Amino acid sequence: MYGYSGRILHIDLGEKTHWVEEKPEEWYKVYIGGVGMATRLCWENIEVGCDPYAPGNPVCFANGIFAGTPVPVGGKYGLASKSPLTGFIGDSLSGSWLCTAMKRAQWDGIVIHNASENWVHIFINDDRVEFLPAKDLLGLGTYETEEKIRDMFGDDQVRSATIGPSGENIVRFGNVTNDGRQAGRTGHGAVWGSKKLKAVSIRGTNGVTVADPETLLKMAFDITEAAQGPHTQKYRVYGTSTNMLNMNKLGLLPTRNYQEGVFEFADQVSGEYLDEHHKVKVIACTQCPIACEQMSLVKTGPFAGAMTGIEYECLQAVSSNCGIGDMRAAIRLIDVADKSGMDAMSMGVTISYSMECYERGVLKKEDFKCKASPDGIELNFGNGEGAVILAQMIRDREGIGDLLAEGTRRAAKAIDEERGTESYKWAMNIKGLETPGYDARALKTFALGLAVGTRGGCHNRSAAYDPDIKGVTNRFTVDGTRGLVASRSEEYAAVYDTLPMCKFIRRCFTGKADRAGAWPAIAKLINATTGWNFDYDDVDRIGVRSHTLKKAFNIREGWTEKDDDLPYRWKHEPMTKGPSAGHIVTEEELKYLKKIYYEAKGWTEEGLIPKKLLVELGMDDIAEEIGV
């Protein structure tokens, strides 16, 4: 078998044992890798219905099909557990070097079961598994932890996935970091923290071979060349942060906790501003010829020295969304999140929720008392220094940070119960995961994509903002086509997330990003790697299967149609300014959109999956358990 080793490594943190499971080639043809295979491993190994912090919730790594080869942007792995934020599938991707070490160690997947009594660092050295004490790593930031581990082994090719202080403190949106990249969303860091798992390091020394190296190298070279041209210019020059001004112009830039979609200081927190004043260098994940990561440094002011990679989603969450027009504070906020290992998107929206609570008198200055600010914080929108202190309070679970570390859904519930308030109305989350950087009130197809999303408020799994923004669909209205558009959009994204490949390469195969432009080339890459005989339909089915599988997982964990919902604000409070003012998604519209979406999927009215459909996709055992 080329491209795979056929082996899944199981590790028990409680018993300190490990074993190997062998999988047949047919299994890989269905589940491929990335979030698809990771979700399948989670399906097979989870204790159904368990609390996300229970030992029965496994940590599931699944490698990419192209990891460890020169196939551009194929250097990614998937990570899945039940999400502490949503209670449903928590599936994330992360790029860079770790996946290549995993490939060379010849593990297609790694499943970590149970929980440890003491903090532990797992070292996978080709076939050997060691349980090392993690005492000396505790409290270290993500990057520091990795550096210390590599120094300990004296080998730069030992790559680690780690959690930082946020994960150790079980901040519900803590994440997992490797090589400066994150499996960012849905709270993997908290799951690791609950297991006392500080780091997983891998050293792999075996060479990687593919079925048809000649074809693979030729395609890789051509795609690498194409990736230096206009198709990726946006990512190479300014990175995704260039969206700040684009979204502002469309009136879709989350501003002051999604109260508005235009930000008067957008020019000062734009990708262009970042490029001129803060950018130090661009860097790439392994195998990536694009290099979108804009490493940015604060040179002056109270946050001088802060440095991290800046991209649109995190930037909008902590800048415009918090009313902050100071790029230096924004970089520092993302720096706090990245170094301490928490999701800067969820963190930003949690801070903006707190700011609105403060401005509406639900939270008072003295509620924010902490060591750094003993009298509390006047947490108005735009208070960058206050926001940084609050981020640190969340990281350390200090004072009210302990409550806010639970994310907006749980924090709002607790605050409203205690104070008789209605702050849930501005707690911006879907299924418990904080919303992304597009105001969906005036992006109706995307609103549907978000509402039905299997991992909650996520822009990565549904790309339905794309037809809305490009004018393929009318973004202000609802019609009968949207169910299919949203459905096809998430299945398209699921192909990339399951291979996995970074979506930024999508135009570099033939110049066209649509299925006809990309799938034949991807099929050819899969065949050159594995020796299989995949065609257009097989590639398309990767996405359908992967998405259906995630939905099946959620159904087994208790999902009902009521969970496909939007935040209160998007359903009731229109924006007052800019080109997207005046729009909301009404309850009737949402109900209709969901109905036509379930229809487009071939699911029941309640959003359940017919047995027949699951069997057709080759997932008979899943059909048996949750099919109707």
Partner 1 sequence: MVASTSKFKYIVCDPELCIGCQLCEYICSYTKTGEFNSYRSRIRTVRVDEVLITAVACQTCENAPCVAACTRDALTQDPETGIIRIDPKKCDGCAWCIEACDFGAISINHETKLAEFCNQCEDIEGGPQCVKWCPKDALEYTTPDQRAQRTRHKLVESSLEFPTKAKDPR
Q: Is the Cβ–Cβ distance between 499 and 463 less than 8 Å?
A: no
In whole angstroms, the minimum distance from the beta carbon of 38 to partner 1 comes to 23
| Strand order across the 181-183 sheet | 128-133, 120-125, 197-203, 159-162, 176-178, 181-183
Choice between 95 and 578, CB closer to partner 1? 95
Tokens 């649109």 correspond to 312
Q: Of residues 15, 26, 117, 156, which one binds partner 1 by CB under 8 A? A: 156
For position 157 contacting partner 1 by CB under 8 A, the verdict is yes
Binding mask 106-145 for partner 1 (x = CB under 8 A): -------------------------------------x--
- Residues near 391 by beta carbon (within 8 Å), at least 6 away in sequence: 333, 336, 337, 347, 351
φ and ψ at residue 77, rounded to 5 degrees: -130, 160
In whole angstroms, the minimum distance from the beta carbon of 201 to partner 1 comes to 15
First to last CA, the chain: 35
In whole angstroms, the minimum distance from the beta carbon of 229 to partner 1 comes to 9
For position 209 contacting partner 1 by CB under 8 A, the verdict is yes
Q: Of residues 116, 182, 241, 308, which one binds partner 1 by CB under 8 A? A: 308
Say how far apart CA 315 and CA 297 lie, in whole Å.
14
Instruction: Tell me the residue length of the chain.
Output: 628
For position 5 contacting partner 1 by CB under 8 A, the verdict is no
Binding mask 169-188 for partner 1 (x = CB under 8 A): ----------xx--------
Binding mask 274-293 for partner 1 (x = CB under 8 A): ------xxxxxxxxxx-x--
Say how far apart CA 58 and CA 174 lie, in whole Å.
16
Greatest CA span in the chain, whole angstroms? 67
**How many other CB atoms sit within 10 Å of the CB of residue 264?**
13
Give the side-chain half-sphere CA count within 13 A for 86. 35
In whole angstroms, the minimum distance from the beta carbon of 161 to partner 1 comes to 16
Choice between 157 and 392, CB closer to partner 1? 157
**How many other CB atoms sit within 10 Å of the CB of residue 488?**
18
In whole angstroms, the minimum distance from the beta carbon of 69 to partner 1 comes to 5
Where residue 607 falls (left for φ over 0; alpha for ψ -120 to 50; beta otherwise) is left
Point out which span in 4-12, 205-213, 260-268, 322-330 binds partner 1 (CB under 8 A): 205-213
**How many other CB atoms sit within 10 Å of the CB of residue 239?**
26
In whole angstroms, the minimum distance from the beta carbon of 184 to partner 1 comes to 17
Residue 523, H or E segment: helix 515-530
φ and ψ at residue 191, rounded to 5 degrees: -65, -45
In whole angstroms, the minimum distance from the beta carbon of 132 to partner 1 comes to 22
- Residues near 495 by beta carbon (within 8 Å), at least 6 away in sequence: 519, 522, 539, 540, 542, 543, 546
Choice between 236 and 569, CB closer to partner 1? 236
**Residues contacting partner 1: total by CB under 8 A:** 40
Point out which span in 44-52, 84-92, 210-218, 255-263 binds partner 1 (CB under 8 A): 210-218
Choice between 68 and 456, CB closer to partner 1? 68
Choice between 105 and 349, CB closer to partner 1? 105
Choice between 179 and 326, CB closer to partner 1? 179
Q: Is the Cβ–Cβ distance between 464 and 453 less than 8 Å?
A: no
Choice between 133 and 229, CB closer to partner 1? 229
Choice between 294 and 460, CB closer to partner 1? 294
In whole angstroms, the minimum distance from the beta carbon of 210 to partner 1 comes to 8
Q: Which of residues 53-112 bind partner 1 (CB under 8 A)?
A: 68-70, 97, 100, 104
Q: DSSP labels for 60-116?
A: EEEE-TTTTSS-TT--EEEEEEE-TTTSSEEEEEEESTHHHHHHHTT-SEEEEES--
Q: Of residues 15, 22, 24, 207, which one binds partner 1 by CB under 8 A? A: 207
Q: Which of residues 7-36 bind partner 1 (CB under 8 A)?
A: none
Task: Give the pair of three-digit tokens for residue 271.
Answer: 């990708």
Say how far apart CA 559 and CA 549 lie, in whole Å.
13
Q: Which of residues 214-253 bind partner 1 (CB under 8 A)?
A: 217, 221, 224-225, 227-228
In whole angstroms, the minimum distance from the beta carbon of 203 to partner 1 comes to 9
Q: Is the Cβ–Cβ distance between 535 and 523 less than 8 Å?
A: yes
Give the side-chain half-sphere CA count within 13 A for 338. 23
User: Exposed e or buried b for every residue in 134-166, given b needs 16+ CB within 10 A?
Assistant: beebeebbbbebbeebbeeeeeeebbbbbbbbb
3-state secondary structure of 299: coil
In whole angstroms, the minimum distance from the beta carbon of 224 to partner 1 comes to 5
Choice between 2 and 592, CB closer to partner 1? 2
* Burial class of residue 628 in the structure, from the number of CB atoms within 10 Å of its CB (0-12 exposed, 13-18 middle, 19+ buried): middle
Q: Of residues 56, 213, 517, 520, which one binds partner 1 by CB under 8 A? A: 213
In whole angstroms, the minimum distance from the beta carbon of 340 to partner 1 comes to 15
In whole angstroms, the minimum distance from the beta carbon of 587 to partner 1 comes to 47
Choice between 52 and 72, CB closer to partner 1? 72
DSSP label at residue 218: H
In whole angstroms, the minimum distance from the beta carbon of 138 to partner 1 comes to 22
Point out which span in 249-257, 304-312, 473-481, 555-563 binds partner 1 (CB under 8 A): 304-312
For position 299 contacting partner 1 by CB under 8 A, the verdict is no
Choice between 157 and 474, CB closer to partner 1? 157
Choice between 71 and 390, CB closer to partner 1? 71
Binding site for partner 1 (CB under 8 A): 68-70, 97, 100, 104, 143, 147, 156-157, 179-180, 205-210, 213, 217, 221, 224-225, 227-228, 280-289, 291, 295, 307-309
